[in-house]
Amino acid sequence: MRKPGMSRVLALCVAGALAFIPLWLTATEQRYFHLGDLGLEGGGVIRDARLGYRTFGVLNASRSNAVVFPTWLMGTSGDLAALIGPGKVVDSSRYFVVAIDSFGNGVSSSPSNSTGQKGRSFPDLTTGDMVRAQLRLITEELGIPRLHAVVGISMGGMQAYQWMATCPDRVRKVVPITGTPGPTSYDLLLYRTELAALEANGDGKGWDDRSLSVVAGIDAMMSNTPGHFIDTVRGHEGLPAHLERITKDMGRQDPRDRASQLKAMIGHNVTAVLKKSAGTAGKTVPRVLTVVSKRDLMVNPGPALELADLSGARTLVLDSGCGHYIFQCEFDRIAAAVSAFLDE
């Protein structure tokens, strides 16, 4: 990915066009917004809460080109960098992109990195808690009154729907990609099964090989369709190497953090709120592009499509064996559709 070079930014500043914009607003390094003690929807409190984020691009003079990009399950703002830039999902040469580390991902406040609430003493989170903290970052730290858009993938897509429910007047456009306003029973079966595998691991201080293999295997089984998996992982010979690779990758995560975010996904449901908003005349409702994968086994597309039909949202329905990991097969189509929608 090509990041905006500092030489280019400095040249613009010298020219005077953007001289009043602080240079830190073009930074891509890891940053933190400190929120103090943060009260949560469930009644708990995160002590000394912090929210990680990275910014890409330049905030314009009217502060109207900001796009929030929250992370997926256990994703980081650093991971999102691969999707940000010219020709990518969000073009940082046109938009000021704020990639935000969702609570529980091991970068922002999480069970693994809390100094006083480590492990099971860390309070339960909701997507509402995540979005309210993100709103504070945008308004208090960055001074942005209203977002051009929120774009989110998977759990990030759930947060995009949460933005619509919590503060619809703060965002012009929303793009949930393989997200849902509320999980189906089949989705919940998956999330609860994975959570049970994690919680069976005692106090979560470490993963034994069996627990790690189980969770990695669940993800591998559900992320693509069976046909796609068979085509890409060949027989008895290919499976052990594949499982070893994904197990090693997942081993970089902390099980307590993953469990925390899974609980937030299980509790996420803004369907009723958004359906009511869609039927309320005169209510401020963001424009929406709903991107779903027709054969998604991790996040069923049904609720997203039902809400899109009710609200008149634009849809992009992709039919691919890649299933939930639709970017593996349809990156260019998704990037083109999102770019065109944001530019309208």
Q: What distances in angstroms separate CA 178 from CA 19, 295, 301, 309, 334, one per listed residue? A: 39, 11, 7, 16, 11
How many structural domains does the chain have? 2
Asked whether residue 175 is domain-assigned, the answer is: yes
Gap between the Cα atoms of 101 and 70, Å rounded: 6
193 band by pLDDT with thresholds 50, 70 and 90: very high
| Boundary of a domain, candidates 216, 237, 263 | 263
Residues, the chain: 344
Query: Is residue 281 domain-shared with residue 240, that is, in the same domain?
Result: no
What is the Cβ-side half-sphere exposure of residue 77, based on CA atoms within 13 angstroms?
Answer: 23
Report d(CA 163, CA 174) in Å as an integer: 8
pLDDT for the residue numbered 23: 40
Please give the pLDDT value at position 10: 35
CATH classification at residue 150: 3.40.50.1820
Q: Does residue 12 surpass a pLDDT of 50?
A: no
Q: Which residue has the higher pLDDT, 82 or 236?
A: 82
Q: Do the Cβ atoms of 288 and 314 come closer than 8 Å? A: yes
- Does the pLDDT at position 311 exceed 80? yes
Instruction: Please say if the pLDDT value at position 8 is more than 80.
Output: no
249 and 270, same domain (yes or no): no
101 near 108, Cβ under 8 Å? yes
Residue 200 clears pLDDT 70, i.e. is over it: yes
Residues 80 and 146 both lie in one domain: yes
Provide the pLDDT confidence category of residue 214 given band limits of 50, 70 and 90.
confident
Residues 76 and 126 in one domain: yes
**Each residue's pLDDT tens digit, 135-158:** 999 999 999 999 999 999 999 999
pLDDT of residue 101: 98
Residue 1 within any structural domain of the chain? no
Within-domain flag for 283 = yes
Q: Are residues 18 and 110 in the same domain?
A: yes
pLDDT at position 9 over 80: no
User: Can you tell me the mean pLDDT for 267-285?
Assistant: 84
Whether residue 104 sits in one domain with residue 31: yes
> Residue 202 — left, alpha, or beta (φ > 0 → left; ψ -120 to 50 → alpha)?
left
Q: Please say whether the beta carbons of 100 and 69 come within 8 A.
A: yes
**19, pLDDT greater than 50:** no
Model confidence at 186: pLDDT above 80: yes
Do 288 and 268 share a structural domain?
yes
Using pLDDT thresholds of 50, 70 and 90, give the confidence band for residue 208.
Answer: low
**pLDDT of res. 254:** 87
Residue 334 lies in a domain: yes
In a domain, 134, yes or no: yes
Residue 178 lies in a domain: yes
List the domain range (segments joined by +) for residue 243.
186-263
**74 and 47 share a domain?**
yes
The reply to whether 257 and 301 lie within a common domain is no
Q: Tell me, yes or no, whether 62 and 99 share the same domain.
A: yes
Domain end marker among 234, 263, 292 = 263
Q: Which residue has the tokens 């860390």?
A: 122
Residues 58 and 172 in one domain: yes
**How far is 179 from 79, CA to CA, in rounded Å?**
18
pLDDT digits (tens, 9 = 90+) for 31-50: 999 999 999 999 999 999 99
Q: Is the pTM of this model over 0.85?
A: yes
Name the band, by pLDDT with cuts 50, 70 and 90, for residue 20: very low
Single residue among 218, 246, 263 that ends a domain in this structure: 263
Instruction: Tell me what percent of the residues of the chain surpass a pLDDT of 70.
Output: 88
Going by pLDDT thresholds of 50, 70 and 90, the confidence category of residue 92 is: very high
- pLDDT on residue 212: 64
Residue 235 to residue 215: CA distance in whole angstroms: 21
